[in-house]
Amino acid sequence: MAKAYDHLFKLLLIGDSGVGKTCLIIRFAEDNFNSTYISTIGIDFKIRTVDIEGKKIKLQVWDTAGQERFKTITTAYYRGAMGIILVYDITDEKSFENIQNWMKSIKENASAGVERLLLGNKCDMEAKRKVQREQADKLAREHGIRFFETSAKSSTNVDEAFSSLARDILLKSGSRRSGNSNKPPITELKTSDKKNASKCSLV
Ligand SMILES: Nc1nc2c(ncn2[C@@H]2O[C@H](COP(=O)(O)OP(=O)(O)OP(=O)(O)O)[C@@H](O)[C@H]2O)c(=O)[nH]1
């Protein structure tokens, strides 16, 4: 029997409580959204297989609780992750300021070569925006990582964000084997990101 996938990548979502980590995963894995807030207890995961560069990539996406009291449990899962998605809420400045602490937590707990991605979620709530796109763009550049504004509610950029991270992991694993890097530079993504940003603010 043919193998159902070519690669299995483990991804992890981290960020403050209430920024929308669970909703992003449910949108990505089940194409669904629920506005009732049920805070995650500990850790959970969902699976979706995507097609990238002709390869079937099975993504095992781990959802962590943002609440401080679960930190000991959740940080134990950092080590096994190949990609970590840092999420803040564009209507909550504190959740953006805390990204620096989440970055620190990655440094302390994750594997050295882990791919990171920054997401500003809830971009459907433009009227309540507190974090400007440019601020997050600057932070992402300082850390040399990609950045998307997303909405789990309107489905904006959710597939794009997960696929982009999976592609970077795939290219990295390929280049590790062949000794060269095919990863498009982060600046090359600017044009498409800008397009998505305007789409985002129109929602
Ligand atoms: N408007 C809007 N609301 C969202 C979006 N994503 C999540 N929410 C709402 O934000 C609240 C929190 O979402 P969750 O996905 O549970 O947040 P979380 O980050 O998993 O929270 P913890 O489990 O406590 O860490 C819920 O009421 C969601 O409906 C979004 O893109 N837009």
Which atom of ligand 1 is found nearest the CA of 38?
16
Q: pTM for this structure?
A: 0.90
CA–CA separation, 83 and 116 (whole Å) = 6
- Can you give the pLDDT at residue 184? 54
- Can you give the pLDDT at residue 178? 57
Please say whether the beta carbons of 121 and 96 come within 8 A. Answer: no
Q: Measuring CA to CA, how many Å separate 164 from each of 18, 75, 126, 188, 199?
A: 24, 24, 24, 13, 18
Asked whether 14 lines ligand 1 (CB < 6 A), one says: no
Q: Quick one: 183 exposed, middle or buried, by C-beta within 10 A (0-12, 13-18, 19+)?
A: middle
All structural domains of the chain with their residue ranges: 7-177
Asked whether 39 lines ligand 1 (CB < 6 A), one says: yes
Q: Kind of pairing, strands 55-64 and 43-52? A: antiparallel
- Can you give the pLDDT at residue 3? 77
Asked whether 157 lines ligand 1 (CB < 6 A), one says: no
- Which are the contacts of 155, defined by CB distance < 8 A and separation ≥ 6? 27, 31, 33
Q: Whose CA is nearest to atom 26 of ligand 1?
A: 37
Q: Kind of pairing, strands 83-89 and 43-52? A: unpaired
Q: Whose CA is nearest to atom 30 of ligand 1?
A: 122
Asked whether 27 lines ligand 1 (CB < 6 A), one says: no
- Can you give the pLDDT at residue 176? 58
Task: Please choose, from the candidates 153, 146, 198, 150, the residue with its C-alpha nearest in 3D space to the C-alpha of residue 167.
Answer: 146
Q: What share of the chain is helix, strand, coil (3-state, %, to 5)?
A: 40, 25, 35
Phi/psi at 23 (5° precision) = -65, -35
User: Which top CATH class is 7-177?
Assistant: alpha beta
Per-residue tens of pLDDT for the chain, all 203 residues: 667 999 999 999 999 999 999 999 999 999 999 999 999 998 889 999 999 999 999 999 999 999 999 999 999 999 999 999 999 999 999 999 999 999 999 999 999 999 999 999 999 999 999 999 999 999 999 999 999 999 999 999 999 999 999 999 999 887 655 555 555 555 434 433 444 444 554 33
